[in-house]
Amino acid sequence: MQKKYLIKKNSDYRKVYNKGISLSNRYTVIFVYKNNLNLKRLGFSVSKKIGKAVRRNFVRRRMKEICRLNKDWFLNGYDYIFIARKGIDEISYKALKNGMEKLAYRISKHITRET
């Protein structure tokens, strides 16, 4: 995934957490907030509850790859943050992909309904 599509600054994360809307399922939470850019940006957060660094990076890489392959799930002009929940490292890639797809669909529906 290219760097221009990633959220890096702590202030950007804070803005999305504090002002954005969120939805969740068993293994992931998604936060969304409108940005003033004409591109979609993604952020990923995996807490230490998931495991040690190797495990957390494994989960983060999986989530990034799912998003990279399915960019059409996300609307331009929005920041998205995915937060991993406990147990995410034990599910299959396919189950994670299906869960993230449903979340992205639900949040996109919610966004379009508000505007």
- Average pLDDT for runs of 10 along the chain of length 115: 86 94 94 92 94 95 94 92 94 95 92 80
Question: Which CATH architecture group holds 3-108?
Answer: 2-Layer Sandwich (3.30)
**pTM for the full predicted model:** 0.91
At residue 112, the pLDDT reads 86
Q: Which residue has the tokens 């807490």?
A: 47
pLDDT of the residue at 64: 94
Hey, where are the domains in the chain? 3-108
Q: What does the pLDDT read at residue 18?
A: 95
For residue 40, the model assigns a pLDDT of 92
Which residue type is seen at 1? Answer: M
Label each residue of 40-77 as H, E or C.
CEEEEECCCCCCCHHHHHHHHHHHHHHHHHCHHHCCCC
- What is the pLDDT at residue 3? 82
pLDDT for the residue numbered 37: 87
Q: Tell me the sheet residues that pair with 42.
A: 6, 80
Nearest partner of 40 among 15, 73, 66, 84, judged by Cα:
73
Can you give the pLDDT at residue 1?
73
| C-alpha–C-alpha distance, residues 19 and 15, integer Å | 6
pLDDT at 115: 64
In Å, how far from its chain's centre is CA 56?
Answer: 15
